[in-house]
Amino acid sequence: SDAELEAGRRAYELDRKHVFHSWSAQATLKPMTVTKAEGSYVWDGEGTRLLDFSSQMVNTNIGHQHPKVVAAIVEQAQKLCTIAPSHVNDARSEAARLIAERTPGELNKVFFTNGGAEAVENAVRMARLHTGRRKVLSRYRSYHGGTDTAVNITGDPRRWANDYGDAGVVHFFGPFLYRSRFYAQTQEQECERALAHLNEVIAMEGPGQIAAIILESVPGTAGIMVPPPGYLQGVREICDRYGIMYIADEVMAGFGRTGKWFAVEHSDGVIPDLITFAKGVNSGYVPLGGVAISPHIAATFDNRPYPGGLTYSGHPLATAAAVATINTMAEEGIVENAARLGTEIMGPGLAEIAQRHPSVGEVRGVGMFWAIELVKDQATREPLAPYGGTSDAMNAVIGECKKLGLLPFANYNRIHAVPPLNITDEQAREGLAILDQALEVADRSL
């Protein structure tokens, strides 16, 4: 309506005047206004409907405005909006139970935070206090959050300006066959060599100094590199050998994104010492994250206070949203749906797209977690935008997607296809058809 459009214009004006945005040079920003969202769609400031293939920041796993989750938030707001973290609250207790029920192994205690970065901060703090060691190992091509420790753990250009070299973090290379650091031709070679490399880094850094290895179970923003079979098992063995805590960062990959509740479940028998989660736990309807804790680490703080806390740890509105989200995902078979859509529609559809377009170097993923890697040349694999940067060609593809009614998730030379997990088959096919068409713009730029 005209009133909605006018409200959107006013919001934009005030935004440019007063809102300071993340990760951006403020003067050049042209943010998109969103006036409305429902299911797999959002509406922009001009009233144009866009199919949301981004799930925003890959968090609306249950889609926008799911009525059961909205109702649970309203109900909780009427009952009890907020309570100090030291008190017991039924929404928090039940959310913790539902999460503990789904984590692998016996990670049965949950520390709640407001988001993913705080989850990473606290997981690392727990690992350091439990082991009495300080160093943390993480991979290049990773994202773990924007706060000080989390951004230093991050293996992405966003770390650079925040890196003063005193965070006690060492980076290593993880498996990524398409851009293999290890001259590997096969997934088996990539796996074996990446594990040998990790072992060597540990030997050089001093195994007795290392508190934790933190890994996204499937690195997300950095490119959706599904680990080769055996890699995470190998990491678990290395951690066991040296008394290093294994932190699985499931902030983006968790809660159904890969077609299982946690992505680490794709690796048989691997039980992390700590799991960080956020985003999909309640689809981001109210900010929430947390750490699932194994019994041996929890026991460290049985008789010794845990030195950490947050005013909103386990906030009633956020945890009530988590209870409704998890229950609804279970009732509606949303995790199974993500696995089915991945195998039946997204995987085959993207494979066809890869065959048709000279600008597509590789498509890869699992469940509803897919990356399209765009290149200038399939033989040299030179990316269509440099690492950490952008290019006219990439911007043109993203612009074309939006023009055709699709909101993609983009990072450097990649487009990610990461829609809500309960998108309909028809909408998923429609999104792929738009990507197919938009990629012609990339082909023409070669």
| Residues lying near ligand PLP in the complex (CB under 6 A) | 57, 115-117, 120, 143-145, 216, 220-221, 249, 251-252, 278, 289
Structure tokens at 249: 């960062």
Shortest distance, position 421 Cβ to ligand PLP, whole Å: 16
Alpha helices in 42-113 (DSSP H): 55-58, 67-79, 90-102
Amino acid at 240: D
Shortest distance, position 281 Cβ to ligand PLP, whole Å: 10
Shortest distance, position 225 Cβ to ligand PLP, whole Å: 12
Shortest distance, position 138 Cβ to ligand PLP, whole Å: 11
Residue nearer to ligand PLP on the CB measure, 8 or 420: 420
CA distance 176 to 273: 24
| Among the listed residues 228, 285, 283, 287, the one whose alpha carbon sits nearest the alpha carbon of residue 254 | 283
Shortest distance, position 45 Cβ to ligand PLP, whole Å: 24
Shortest distance, position 264 Cβ to ligand PLP, whole Å: 12
Residue nearer to ligand PLP on the CB measure, 155 or 349: 155
> Residue holding tokens 């993207």?
350
Q: Is 404 exposed, middle or buried (0-12, 13-18, 19+ CB in 10 A)?
A: middle
Shortest distance, position 122 Cβ to ligand PLP, whole Å: 12
In three-state secondary structure terms, 373 is: strand
Residue nearer to ligand PLP on the CB measure, 130 or 257: 257
Residue nearer to ligand PLP on the CB measure, 23 or 183: 23
Cβ neighbours around 396 below 10 Å, total: 15
Structure tokens at 56: 């925003």
Residue nearer to ligand PLP on the CB measure, 252 or 264: 252
Residue 173: C-alpha distances to residues 195, 314, 438 (Å): 9, 35, 33
Residue nearer to ligand PLP on the CB measure, 116 or 259: 116
Shortest distance, position 348 Cβ to ligand PLP, whole Å: 26
Residue 25: C-alpha distances to residues 14, 31, 411 (Å): 17, 12, 17
As a whole number of angstroms, the longest Cα–Cα distance in the chain is 65
Structure tokens at 16: 């440019």
Shortest distance, position 308 Cβ to ligand PLP, whole Å: 16
The residue with its CB nearest to ligand PLP is 116
Residue nearer to ligand PLP on the CB measure, 244 or 252: 252
Residue nearer to ligand PLP on the CB measure, 220 or 383: 220
Structure tokens at 129: 């206090």
Structure tokens at 21: 């945005």
Concatenated DSSP letters of 163-179: --S-S-EEEE----GGG
Residue nearer to ligand PLP on the CB measure, 57 or 330: 57
Which residue spans within 14-88 are E strands per DSSP? 34-38, 41-44, 49-52
